[in-house]
A = this chain, B = another copy of it.
Amino acid sequence: MTRIHPAPEQFAFTVGGLPPLATADVGEEIEVFTEDCFSGRLTSVAGRPREVAPFPRVNPLTGPIELRGVRRGDVVAIHLVALTPARDWGVSTLSPNFGALSGTRLSPNLQPETAEHVWIWSVDPATGTVRTRTANGRELAVPLRPFHGTVGVAPAHGEVRTSAVPDAFGGNLDVPALGAGTTLYLRANVPGAMLYLGDGHFAQGDGEFGGTAVEGAMVTRLRTAVLAEEHLAARDVDWPRMETDDEIIAIGVGRPLEDAVRVAVHSLVRWVSQSCDLAPHDAYQLVSQGCSARIGNLVNPSYTVSVSLPKALLPNRPVIMDGIHDRLRGHREVAA
């Protein structure tokens, strides 16, 4: 098993254009340490997010990890085996000019800005919750549900992007489904795919409306597989897809949010049509009557949505993505 724990100066704040931090074989298990989005420097409610982690020095990523033998055009599968909080605390913030209920740099207004707030959350595995206390003494507690806000590969067309951006290459998706037991499918845009992970979240509601999740450092074990570009099931993977034991999930990325939704629904319809030998309009109909559609983030430079369909609704028990997820997840306790 390859273990990757970057030195402080080794974290990446851009995606693409970097030499590999490590190299791994497709199929071997990889253990990765990821820092929180503030590089672990925001440790108290008195801390100043924009001083300890000034843009673009936010959201440090672990990677890139070169996957031996992966060709440009192949589809890479990343299965998250287990995510373990690396610390017993997490942190969340509200920042001026950021978040879904504020003007932003990309959608400015002339109103006075809101105040900055920081919450420190304690991780309580015993109760499966993260907890914090408000200034007026109320306790806020939400379920502990670790996932990675950011998992991606090098962008296409030689682009280099900041770690804040989600796109077809994955990146800062902030989709809560990306936790233990989930397989993420991404098209490789360069040889070796150049995988990276970061932005560990101990908890997050849909939309990440306040602008951050309960952010925390993470130790994550993952396995990878590859689906050759030539394979029929790889054909339509132009945007990120996820798979769990129970669902297939198409991820839409874009702005405005309608466009992210259209990308996801269009992607899911093609996925269902190809997997189940359904005409596009029949696949569209099945998706329309059976899907769930949840907002991933409404605060990043591009927004994300996840549109999912229970596998139980797919006619004739099709083989999904050549059965990669079932092979990667292995025996049942792994995802537990």
Interface residues of A (CB under 8 A from B): 13-14, 16-17, 55-56, 92, 94, 99-103, 105-115, 117, 119, 130, 134-136, 138-143, 156-162, 203-214, 238, 254-259, 261-263, 265-266, 269, 276-282, 284-295, 298, 303, 305, 307, 313, 315-316
Q: Assess the A262–B109 pair: CB atoms within 8 A.
A: yes
Q: List 10 A-B contacts (CB under 8 A).
A: A94-B284, A101-B269, A107-B254, A107-B259, A111-B113, A115-B281, A117-B285, A119-B285, A207-B293, A256-B258
Given the interface contacts A157-B56, A203-B289, A284-B209, does A256 sit within 8 Å of B257 by beta carbon?
yes
User: Beyond the given A140-B282, A158-B160, A213-B289, could you list 15 further A-B residue pairs with CB under 8 A, ordered by the A residue number?
Assistant: A14-B158, A17-B158, A17-B160, A102-B110, A103-B103, A106-B254, A106-B259, A138-B277, A138-B315, A140-B289, A160-B160, A204-B289, A205-B287, A207-B293, A257-B257
Give the complex CA separation of A217 and B211 in angstroms: 43
Give the complex CA separation of A205 and B261 in angstroms: 13
Given the interface contacts A14-B157, A14-B158, A106-B254, does A288 sit within 8 Å of B209 by beta carbon?
yes
User: Residue of B at shortest CB range from A176?
Assistant: B292
Q: Assess the B119–A109 pair: CB atoms within 8 A.
A: no
